[in-house]
Amino acid sequence: MKSDITFGQYCEGNSLIHRLDPRAKIILAILYIAVIFLAKSVTAFALLIVSALVLVGLTKLSPVMILRGMRPLLFIIVFTAVINIFWMTGDVLLLSLGPIKIYLEGIINAVLIILRIVLLIVATSVFLTYTTTPLALTDGLEQLLSPLKKLHVPVHEFSMMMTIALRFIPTLIDETQKIMNAQKARGADFSTGSLIQRAKALIPILIPLFISAFRRADELATAMECRCYTGGEGRTRMNVLHTTAKDIVFILALVLLGAAIVLLNRYFPLYGLSL
């Protein structure tokens, strides 16, 4: 049974984002993440939401599919929101139940931080995993880090390691789902009991998952050796990367977005994020 979690999967397409140079997309992802962390106000986050919707529209991918890919991080999102709502103080008290006090500032802060996490996932998904093949990502990352070769840094091996890790995220998630379904069919219960009991119930999942992961790693290493794979030294490329005008336009657009975020924080703050 195929898992409906899409995080880390490449979605084939011919959109404008798909056709960007992978080196440019890595730079764009880093810039967009930096811009997200620059946002400190409601107005700045509103502009970021508009930009994220535009990016998703340019990919021609389903927004529902992108949101579905956030399921693995749902616990982190909810936990972060709860921490901000119940532990943050402010000037406008909305609810007081004994020691529990909920302030308007805490709710706004929680919403903005949730938006930040969601935007981070959208940025990395749109520019990297959903629109860039693992091979193109490896080539782009290796060429961006190529100056480090002069310092004897194993750039090619590092790039290959990162790409293989991204490639096997959906595979391992799918494998976990299959193991859980098999254990449930044998009567295993993962949803009831104390925290310790639930942790013990995960042992029948973790052991076969680790065995499967090591087996896949061994098969991949054997396949690479059989194809006489020797790394990046003297290796030719079937597809040569070229930077085009649209890559430069996207990078400049993100720089302008960052400048607009800074200006909105300074002159139209509306509400300042307390983080």
In the structure, what pLDDT confidence band is assigned to residue 250 with cuts at 50, 70 and 90?
very high
- pLDDT the model gives residue 37: 92
The pLDDT tens digits for 31-80 are 999 999 999 888 999 999 999 999 999 998 888 888 777 777 788 888 88
pLDDT (mean) for 173-188: 83
pTM listed for this prediction: 0.75
What is the tens place of the pLDDT at every residue in 213-231? 888 888 888 988 888 777 6
Determine whether 204 is exposed, middle or buried from the number of CB atoms within 10 Å of its CB (0-12, 13-18, 19+): middle
Mean pLDDT of 147-162: 81
Highest mean pLDDT among 118-127, 179-188, 233-242, 250-259: 250-259
Average the pLDDT over 188-198 and give the result: 73
If DSSP states are collapsed to H, E and C, what string results for the chain? CCCCCCCCCCCCCCCCCCCCCHHHHHHHHHHHHHHHHHCCEHHHHHHHHHHHHHHHHHHCCCHHHHHHCCHHHHHHHHHHHHHHHHHCCCCCEEEEECCEEEEHHHHHHHHHHHHHHHHHHHHHHHHHHCCCCHHHHHHHHHHHCHHHHHHCCCHHHHHHHHHHHHHHHHHHHHHHHHHHHHHHHCCCCCCCCCHHHHHHHCHHHHHHHHHHHHHHHHHHHHHHHHCCCCCCCCCCCCCCCCCCHHHHHHHHHHHHHHHHHHHHHHHCCCCECCC
Structure confidence at residue 3 (pLDDT):
46
**What does pLDDT average to over the chain?**
82
Which residue type occupies 265? Answer: N
pLDDT score of 257:
95
